[in-house]
Amino acid sequence: MARIEKSIEIRTPVEDVFNFTRNWENYSRFYEGIYDWRPTTEITSGKGARFVYKAKALGREYEIETEVIEEVENKSRSFASVSGAETRGEWLFEPLDNGTRITYIAEYKLPIPIMGGILDTLLIKPKREAFSDKLLQNLKRLLEH
């Protein structure tokens, strides 16, 4: 699986950052380019919560369902796809004297066996890195007061 890891410091207490990022109704505000979020379980936050969303890549629209597989309050949240493209990810929250360091880790597998590595290096990974940077910048903009 390919892996991307990005961090940013936000001048907001860890509890506020954690609670904002765990509320599915906020997802479309910071996950730019991912849309039509909706829960698929009665649980809408924490371990076991599932969501379906849509994203565009390589000119096609994809629907992906993901599940929160672990959550430790104010420390971490990990998720994995249960349908659609194979993805895994994790949010890490570290309290700082003046706010929070948030780290976003994304892992993904392209469903193209032979040309997948080349396609990833040339096209997909740079876009995923830019997406991750923008995601964190959006959180910073939304959460800093």
Question: What pLDDT, on a 0 to 100 scale, did the predictor assign at position 105?
Answer: 97
Indicate the number of domains in the chain: 1
**CATH code of the domain containing 131:** 3.30.530.20
Question: What pLDDT, on a 0 to 100 scale, did the predictor assign at position 121?
Answer: 59
Note whether 71 and 93 are within 8 A (CB).
no
Compute the chain's Rg from CA coordinates.
15
Mean pLDDT, rounded, for 102-118: 73
Mean pLDDT, rounded, for 114-142: 79
Q: What is the DSSP string of 54-103?
A: EEEETTEEEEEEEEEEEEETTTEEEEEEEESSEEEEEEEEEEETTEEEEE
Which is more confidently placed, 1 or 44? 44
Question: What pLDDT, on a 0 to 100 scale, did the predictor assign at position 108?
Answer: 82
Q: How far apart are CA 130 and CA 16, in angstroms?
A: 25
Residues spanned by the domain of 118: 2-143
Give 16-53 pLDDT, tens digit per residue: 999 999 999 999 999 988 999 999 999 999 999 999 99
